[in-house]
Structure 1
Amino acid sequence: MTDVTWSVSWETELDDAAHASLAALLGRAYAAQSVRFGDGRSWAGARPELRVIARAGETPVAHAGIIRRFLRALPDGPDVLVGDVGLVAVDPGQHGHGVGRALMAQVVATLVDLDVPFGFVSCGPDVEGFYRAAGWTRLPGVTVHLIDTHHRTRVDPGPAMVHAAGRSLSAWPAARMFARDGQLV
Protein backbone atom coordinates (compact mmCIF):
# COMPACT_ATOMS: atom_id res chain seq x y z
CA MET A 1 0.00 0.00 0.00
CA THR A 2 1.14 3.51 -0.78
CA ASP A 3 2.27 5.45 2.30
CA VAL A 4 -0.79 7.33 3.43
CA THR A 5 -1.85 9.18 6.55
CA TRP A 6 -5.33 8.80 7.97
CA SER A 7 -7.61 11.34 9.55
CA VAL A 8 -11.15 11.43 10.83
CA SER A 9 -12.62 14.91 10.52
CA TRP A 10 -15.91 16.38 11.62
CA GLU A 11 -17.65 18.28 8.85
CA THR A 12 -17.26 21.62 10.64
CA GLU A 13 -13.49 21.13 10.81
CA LEU A 14 -13.06 21.20 7.02
CA ASP A 15 -12.37 24.48 5.27
CA ASP A 16 -13.02 25.39 1.63
CA ALA A 17 -9.60 24.13 0.52
CA ALA A 18 -10.22 20.74 2.15
CA HIS A 19 -13.62 20.47 0.45
CA ALA A 20 -12.07 21.40 -2.90
CA SER A 21 -9.41 18.66 -2.63
CA LEU A 22 -12.03 16.11 -1.56
CA ALA A 23 -14.29 17.19 -4.43
CA ALA A 24 -11.40 16.60 -6.84
CA LEU A 25 -10.91 13.07 -5.44
CA LEU A 26 -14.64 12.32 -5.64
CA GLY A 27 -14.71 13.63 -9.20
CA ARG A 28 -11.90 11.25 -10.16
CA ALA A 29 -13.45 8.31 -8.35
CA TYR A 30 -16.98 8.94 -9.67
CA ALA A 31 -15.96 10.16 -13.14
CA ALA A 32 -19.40 9.57 -14.69
CA GLN A 33 -20.94 11.80 -12.01
CA SER A 34 -18.07 14.28 -11.62
CA VAL A 35 -20.34 17.25 -12.35
CA ARG A 36 -21.89 16.72 -8.89
CA PHE A 37 -18.60 17.65 -7.29
CA GLY A 38 -18.03 20.89 -9.17
CA ASP A 39 -17.27 24.16 -7.44
CA GLY A 40 -15.56 22.40 -4.51
CA ARG A 41 -18.71 20.58 -3.41
CA SER A 42 -17.53 17.42 -1.64
CA TRP A 43 -20.93 15.85 -1.09
CA ALA A 44 -23.70 14.59 -3.36
CA GLY A 45 -26.74 14.35 -1.06
CA ALA A 46 -26.64 14.69 2.69
CA ARG A 47 -23.41 16.17 3.97
CA PRO A 48 -21.50 13.66 6.05
CA GLU A 49 -21.14 14.23 9.75
CA LEU A 50 -17.68 12.68 9.79
CA ARG A 51 -15.20 11.92 7.05
CA VAL A 52 -12.50 9.25 7.02
CA ILE A 53 -9.72 10.46 4.74
CA ALA A 54 -6.44 8.99 3.53
CA ARG A 55 -3.84 11.36 2.14
CA ALA A 56 -0.64 10.80 0.20
CA GLY A 57 1.22 13.93 1.17
CA GLU A 58 -1.43 16.65 1.01
CA THR A 59 -3.54 14.92 -1.63
CA PRO A 60 -6.63 12.92 -0.58
CA VAL A 61 -6.51 9.42 -2.07
CA ALA A 62 -9.39 7.75 -0.22
CA HIS A 63 -12.55 8.97 1.47
CA ALA A 64 -15.73 7.78 3.17
CA GLY A 65 -18.47 9.86 4.73
CA ILE A 66 -20.50 8.80 7.77
CA ILE A 67 -23.70 10.19 9.24
CA ARG A 68 -25.55 8.76 12.22
CA ARG A 69 -29.24 8.19 11.61
CA PHE A 70 -32.09 5.88 12.34
CA LEU A 71 -33.48 3.51 9.74
CA ARG A 72 -37.13 2.63 10.21
CA ALA A 73 -37.95 -1.06 9.91
CA LEU A 74 -41.22 -1.26 7.96
CA PRO A 75 -44.08 -1.65 8.49
CA ASP A 76 -43.89 -1.38 12.27
CA GLY A 77 -40.58 -2.83 13.38
CA PRO A 78 -38.02 -1.13 15.56
CA ASP A 79 -35.90 1.81 14.47
CA VAL A 80 -32.23 0.95 14.24
CA LEU A 81 -29.37 3.39 14.78
CA VAL A 82 -26.71 3.10 12.09
CA GLY A 83 -23.61 4.85 10.90
CA ASP A 84 -24.78 5.42 7.32
CA VAL A 85 -21.72 5.23 5.09
CA GLY A 86 -21.43 6.82 1.67
CA LEU A 87 -19.14 8.60 -0.76
CA VAL A 88 -16.71 5.69 -0.47
CA ALA A 89 -13.95 6.55 -2.91
CA VAL A 90 -10.42 5.48 -3.71
CA ASP A 91 -8.37 7.41 -6.24
CA PRO A 92 -8.23 5.30 -9.42
CA GLY A 93 -4.43 5.45 -9.31
CA GLN A 94 -4.52 3.73 -5.92
CA HIS A 95 -6.73 0.78 -6.94
CA GLY A 96 -5.17 -2.59 -6.22
CA HIS A 97 -2.79 -1.29 -3.54
CA GLY A 98 -4.85 -2.10 -0.41
CA VAL A 99 -5.99 1.48 0.18
CA GLY A 100 -9.68 0.55 -0.11
CA ARG A 101 -9.31 -2.33 2.34
CA ALA A 102 -7.51 -0.01 4.78
CA LEU A 103 -10.20 2.65 4.27
CA MET A 104 -12.95 0.24 5.25
CA ALA A 105 -10.98 -0.88 8.33
CA GLN A 106 -10.72 2.79 9.34
CA VAL A 107 -14.47 3.24 8.71
CA VAL A 108 -15.32 0.30 10.99
CA ALA A 109 -12.97 1.61 13.70
CA THR A 110 -14.72 4.99 13.44
CA LEU A 111 -18.15 3.35 13.72
CA VAL A 112 -16.98 1.56 16.86
CA ASP A 113 -15.65 4.85 18.26
CA LEU A 114 -19.03 6.47 17.55
CA ASP A 115 -20.67 3.62 19.48
CA VAL A 116 -23.28 2.98 16.80
CA PRO A 117 -24.46 -0.62 16.74
CA PHE A 118 -24.21 -1.03 12.97
CA GLY A 119 -22.66 0.41 9.87
CA PHE A 120 -24.98 0.56 6.87
CA VAL A 121 -24.23 1.03 3.20
CA SER A 122 -26.16 0.55 0.01
CA CYS A 123 -24.08 -0.04 -3.07
CA GLY A 124 -24.14 -1.26 -6.62
CA PRO A 125 -23.83 -4.97 -7.34
CA ASP A 126 -20.48 -4.31 -9.02
CA VAL A 127 -18.86 -3.32 -5.69
CA GLU A 128 -20.66 -5.73 -3.37
CA GLY A 129 -17.61 -8.03 -3.35
CA PHE A 130 -15.42 -5.15 -2.15
CA TYR A 131 -17.66 -4.63 0.88
CA ARG A 132 -17.98 -8.36 1.56
CA ALA A 133 -14.19 -8.67 1.58
CA ALA A 134 -14.13 -5.85 4.16
CA GLY A 135 -16.48 -7.76 6.50
CA TRP A 136 -19.84 -6.29 5.47
CA THR A 137 -22.86 -8.58 5.13
CA ARG A 138 -25.53 -8.31 2.46
CA LEU A 139 -29.08 -8.19 3.78
CA PRO A 140 -30.75 -10.64 1.39
CA GLY A 141 -34.23 -9.70 0.22
CA VAL A 142 -34.11 -6.30 1.93
CA THR A 143 -35.34 -3.17 0.17
CA VAL A 144 -34.55 0.35 1.27
CA HIS A 145 -36.77 3.37 0.65
CA LEU A 146 -34.73 6.54 0.45
CA ILE A 147 -34.52 10.13 -0.66
CA ASP A 148 -32.09 10.38 -3.56
CA THR A 149 -29.78 13.22 -4.49
CA HIS A 150 -32.56 14.74 -6.62
CA HIS A 151 -34.82 14.89 -3.53
CA ARG A 152 -37.09 12.13 -4.85
CA THR A 153 -38.33 9.21 -2.79
CA ARG A 154 -37.46 5.88 -4.39
CA VAL A 155 -36.57 2.28 -3.67
CA ASP A 156 -32.83 1.62 -3.78
CA PRO A 157 -32.16 -1.18 -6.27
CA GLY A 158 -28.67 -1.97 -4.95
CA PRO A 159 -27.63 -4.39 -2.27
CA ALA A 160 -28.10 -3.20 1.31
CA MET A 161 -25.13 -4.13 3.47
CA VAL A 162 -24.51 -3.99 7.20
CA HIS A 163 -21.50 -4.26 9.48
CA ALA A 164 -21.96 -5.17 13.14
CA ALA A 165 -19.59 -2.54 14.48
CA GLY A 166 -18.50 -4.32 17.63
CA ARG A 167 -21.94 -5.88 18.12
CA SER A 168 -23.64 -9.10 17.12
CA LEU A 169 -25.26 -9.19 13.71
CA SER A 170 -28.09 -11.20 15.30
CA ALA A 171 -29.34 -7.91 16.83
CA TRP A 172 -30.17 -6.55 13.36
CA PRO A 173 -34.00 -6.34 12.91
CA ALA A 174 -35.57 -9.10 10.81
CA ALA A 175 -37.59 -6.65 8.66
CA ARG A 176 -37.50 -6.88 4.87
CA MET A 177 -38.08 -3.15 4.26
CA PHE A 178 -36.35 -0.13 5.76
CA ALA A 179 -36.87 3.59 5.31
CA ARG A 180 -33.85 5.86 5.21
CA ASP A 181 -35.68 9.13 5.89
CA GLY A 182 -32.89 11.37 4.78
CA GLN A 183 -30.84 11.92 1.68
CA LEU A 184 -28.14 9.52 0.64
CA VAL A 185 -24.72 10.33 2.03
Structure 2
Amino acid sequence: MTDPRWTVSWETDLDAAAHADVAALLSRAYARQSARFSDGRSWAGARPELRVVGRVGGVAVAHAGVVRRFLRALPDGGDVLVGDVGLVAVDPGHQGRGLGAALTARVVDVLVDLDVPFGFVSCGPAVEGFYRAAGWTRLPGVTVRLVDTHHRTRVDTDPAMVHAAGRPLSAWPPARELARDGQLV
Protein backbone atom coordinates (compact mmCIF):
# COMPACT_ATOMS: atom_id res chain seq x y z
CA MET A 1 0.00 0.00 0.00
CA THR A 2 1.18 3.48 -0.80
CA ASP A 3 1.68 5.62 2.29
CA PRO A 4 -1.16 8.06 2.71
CA ARG A 5 -0.77 11.80 2.33
CA TRP A 6 -2.08 13.40 5.53
CA THR A 7 -3.75 16.79 5.75
CA VAL A 8 -5.21 18.81 8.59
CA SER A 9 -7.84 21.28 7.40
CA TRP A 10 -10.09 23.84 9.01
CA GLU A 11 -13.74 23.25 8.17
CA THR A 12 -14.12 26.56 6.36
CA ASP A 13 -11.16 25.74 4.09
CA LEU A 14 -12.81 22.65 2.58
CA ASP A 15 -14.58 22.96 -0.74
CA ALA A 16 -17.49 20.86 -2.01
CA ALA A 17 -15.17 18.31 -3.64
CA ALA A 18 -13.29 17.74 -0.36
CA HIS A 19 -16.58 17.28 1.51
CA ALA A 20 -17.79 14.82 -1.15
CA ASP A 21 -14.55 12.82 -0.87
CA VAL A 22 -14.86 12.58 2.93
CA ALA A 23 -18.60 11.83 2.68
CA ALA A 24 -17.85 8.92 0.34
CA LEU A 25 -15.34 7.52 2.87
CA LEU A 26 -17.80 7.93 5.76
CA SER A 27 -20.49 6.18 3.70
CA ARG A 28 -18.17 3.22 3.18
CA ALA A 29 -16.99 3.14 6.79
CA TYR A 30 -20.45 3.60 8.32
CA ALA A 31 -22.38 1.58 5.73
CA ARG A 32 -25.50 1.11 7.88
CA GLN A 33 -25.72 4.88 8.31
CA SER A 34 -24.61 5.85 4.81
CA ALA A 35 -27.77 7.88 4.14
CA ARG A 36 -26.45 10.49 6.60
CA PHE A 37 -23.62 11.25 4.22
CA SER A 38 -25.65 11.66 1.07
CA ASP A 39 -25.26 14.66 -1.22
CA GLY A 40 -21.67 15.26 -0.12
CA ARG A 41 -22.57 15.85 3.53
CA SER A 42 -19.42 14.97 5.47
CA TRP A 43 -20.79 15.30 8.99
CA ALA A 44 -23.44 13.54 11.05
CA GLY A 45 -24.06 15.89 13.99
CA ALA A 46 -21.89 18.85 14.88
CA ARG A 47 -19.52 19.90 12.14
CA PRO A 48 -15.89 19.55 13.12
CA GLU A 49 -13.59 22.54 13.38
CA LEU A 50 -10.66 20.58 12.06
CA ARG A 51 -10.39 17.41 10.03
CA VAL A 52 -7.50 15.00 9.79
CA VAL A 53 -7.64 13.14 6.48
CA GLY A 54 -5.37 10.50 4.98
CA ARG A 55 -5.55 10.06 1.22
CA VAL A 56 -4.15 7.37 -1.04
CA GLY A 57 -4.17 8.17 -4.74
CA GLY A 58 -6.13 11.35 -3.97
CA VAL A 59 -9.00 9.40 -2.31
CA ALA A 60 -9.83 9.77 1.38
CA VAL A 61 -9.12 6.51 3.24
CA ALA A 62 -8.90 7.78 6.84
CA HIS A 63 -10.67 10.61 8.66
CA ALA A 64 -11.29 12.12 12.09
CA GLY A 65 -13.01 15.34 13.06
CA VAL A 66 -12.17 17.50 16.08
CA VAL A 67 -14.15 20.27 17.75
CA ARG A 68 -13.16 22.14 20.90
CA ARG A 69 -15.81 22.23 23.60
CA PHE A 70 -16.37 22.18 27.31
CA LEU A 71 -17.78 19.10 29.00
CA ARG A 72 -19.46 19.45 32.38
CA ALA A 73 -18.09 16.93 34.88
CA LEU A 74 -21.05 16.07 37.09
CA PRO A 75 -22.01 16.23 39.87
CA ASP A 76 -19.40 18.80 40.95
CA GLY A 77 -16.23 18.48 38.87
CA GLY A 78 -16.67 21.74 36.98
CA ASP A 79 -16.01 22.23 33.29
CA VAL A 80 -13.21 20.68 31.30
CA LEU A 81 -12.00 21.83 27.89
CA VAL A 82 -11.52 18.97 25.43
CA GLY A 83 -10.86 18.32 21.81
CA ASP A 84 -13.98 16.25 21.11
CA VAL A 85 -13.09 13.66 18.47
CA GLY A 86 -15.61 11.99 16.19
CA LEU A 87 -16.27 10.56 12.74
CA VAL A 88 -13.20 8.40 13.13
CA ALA A 89 -13.06 6.16 10.09
CA VAL A 90 -10.72 4.02 8.04
CA ASP A 91 -11.91 2.75 4.68
CA PRO A 92 -12.91 -0.93 5.10
CA GLY A 93 -10.69 -1.85 2.16
CA HIS A 94 -7.66 -0.32 3.89
CA GLN A 95 -8.16 -1.62 7.44
CA GLY A 96 -5.51 -3.76 9.10
CA ARG A 97 -2.64 -1.78 7.59
CA GLY A 98 -1.86 0.61 10.44
CA LEU A 99 -3.91 3.55 9.12
CA GLY A 100 -5.99 3.74 12.30
CA ALA A 101 -2.90 4.00 14.48
CA ALA A 102 -1.41 6.64 12.17
CA LEU A 103 -4.70 8.55 12.20
CA THR A 104 -5.01 8.58 15.99
CA ALA A 105 -1.37 9.70 16.33
CA ARG A 106 -2.10 12.64 14.04
CA VAL A 107 -5.26 13.45 16.00
CA VAL A 108 -3.19 13.65 19.19
CA ASP A 109 -0.78 16.01 17.40
CA VAL A 110 -3.76 18.20 16.46
CA LEU A 111 -4.99 18.21 20.07
CA VAL A 112 -1.55 19.36 21.24
CA ASP A 113 -1.44 22.04 18.52
CA LEU A 114 -4.90 23.27 19.59
CA ASP A 115 -3.56 23.56 23.15
CA VAL A 116 -6.46 21.66 24.67
CA PRO A 117 -5.67 19.77 27.86
CA PHE A 118 -7.45 16.56 26.83
CA GLY A 119 -8.86 14.69 23.90
CA PHE A 120 -12.24 13.04 24.37
CA VAL A 121 -13.95 10.31 22.39
CA SER A 122 -16.89 8.06 23.07
CA CYS A 123 -16.81 4.78 21.20
CA GLY A 124 -18.48 1.42 20.93
CA PRO A 125 -17.21 -1.41 23.12
CA ALA A 126 -15.91 -3.23 20.04
CA VAL A 127 -13.29 -0.52 19.36
CA GLU A 128 -12.32 0.34 22.94
CA GLY A 129 -9.19 -1.82 22.63
CA PHE A 130 -8.14 0.08 19.51
CA TYR A 131 -8.25 3.38 21.40
CA ARG A 132 -6.49 1.89 24.45
CA ALA A 133 -3.67 0.70 22.18
CA ALA A 134 -3.40 4.28 20.86
CA GLY A 135 -2.94 5.70 24.37
CA TRP A 136 -6.51 6.62 25.25
CA THR A 137 -7.83 5.85 28.76
CA ARG A 138 -11.36 4.73 29.57
CA LEU A 139 -13.21 6.65 32.26
CA PRO A 140 -14.66 3.75 34.25
CA GLY A 141 -18.27 4.03 35.35
CA VAL A 142 -18.81 7.36 33.54
CA THR A 143 -21.89 7.99 31.42
CA VAL A 144 -22.25 10.80 28.90
CA ARG A 145 -25.37 12.94 28.53
CA LEU A 146 -25.46 14.26 24.98
CA VAL A 147 -27.50 15.60 22.12
CA ASP A 148 -27.58 12.91 19.43
CA THR A 149 -27.74 13.34 15.66
CA HIS A 150 -31.55 13.34 15.85
CA HIS A 151 -31.43 16.34 18.23
CA ARG A 152 -32.58 14.23 21.20
CA THR A 153 -30.96 14.30 24.61
CA ARG A 154 -29.90 10.85 25.75
CA VAL A 155 -27.50 9.12 28.10
CA ASP A 156 -24.73 7.04 26.55
CA THR A 157 -23.10 4.24 28.53
CA ASP A 158 -20.58 3.30 25.82
CA PRO A 159 -16.91 3.77 26.72
CA ALA A 160 -15.91 7.40 27.31
CA MET A 161 -12.20 7.82 26.72
CA VAL A 162 -9.67 10.60 27.24
CA HIS A 163 -6.16 11.32 26.07
CA ALA A 164 -3.83 13.59 28.02
CA ALA A 165 -2.86 16.08 25.34
CA GLY A 166 -1.67 19.07 27.35
CA ARG A 167 -2.12 18.10 30.99
CA PRO A 168 -1.52 14.91 32.93
CA LEU A 169 -4.39 12.48 33.17
CA SER A 170 -4.39 13.05 36.95
CA ALA A 171 -5.77 16.55 36.21
CA TRP A 172 -8.99 15.08 34.74
CA PRO A 173 -11.86 16.12 37.04
CA PRO A 174 -13.79 13.52 39.02
CA ALA A 175 -17.15 12.73 37.45
CA ARG A 176 -19.86 10.11 37.34
CA GLU A 177 -21.48 11.76 34.35
CA LEU A 178 -20.22 14.07 31.64
CA ALA A 179 -22.59 16.50 29.97
CA ARG A 180 -21.74 17.13 26.33
CA ASP A 181 -24.00 20.13 25.77
CA GLY A 182 -23.84 20.06 22.02
CA GLN A 183 -24.32 17.59 19.22
CA LEU A 184 -22.05 14.64 18.68
CA VAL A 185 -19.19 15.22 16.27
What range describes the TM-score normalised by the shorter chain of this pair? over 0.9
Partners in 2 of 1:130 and 1:36 — Cα distance? Answer: 25
Question: 1:146: Cα distance to partner?
Answer: 0.2
Task: Please give the residue correspondences for 1:1-185 in structure 2 after superposition, counting only pairs within 5 Å.
Answer: 2-185=2-185
Partners in 1 of 2:61 and 2:99 — Cα distance? Answer: 8
Question: 1:76: Cα distance to partner?
Answer: 2.9
Secondary structure at 1:127's aligned position in 2?
A: helix
Structure 1 residues not aligned, in runs of 5+: none
Instruction: Using structure 1 for the length normalisation, give the TM-score.
Output: 0.98
Structure 2 residues not aligned, in runs of 5+: none
Partners in 1 of 2:17 and 2:157 — Cα distance? Answer: 35
Amino acid at match of 1:82: V
Question: 1:157: Cα distance to partner?
Answer: 2.3
Alignment RMSD = 0.8
Secondary structure at 2:150's aligned position in 1?
A: coil
Residue-by-residue CA offset, 1:136-168 (whole Å, 9 max, x unaligned): 000000011000000000001210000001320
Partners in 1 of 2:35 and 2:157 — Cα distance? Answer: 23
Instruction: Using structure 2 for the length normalisation, give the TM-score.
Output: 0.98
Identity across the alignment (%): 79
Residue-by-residue CA offset, 1:24-74 (whole Å, 9 max, x unaligned): 000000011101000100000000000000000210000000000000011
Partners in 1 of 2:94 and 2:162 — Cα distance? Answer: 25
| Cα contact 2:75–2:176 (8 A) shared by 1 | no
The runs of 4+ residues in structure 1 deviating greater than 6 Å are: none
Amino acid at match of 2:157: P
Residue-by-residue CA offset, 1:60-112 (whole Å, 9 max, x unaligned): 00000000000001123210000000000000111110000000000000000
Secondary structure at 1:70's aligned position in 2?
A: strand
3 and 133 in structure 1: CA distance in 2 versus 1, 3 angstrom threshold: same
| Cα contact 2:136–2:163 (8 A) shared by 1 | yes
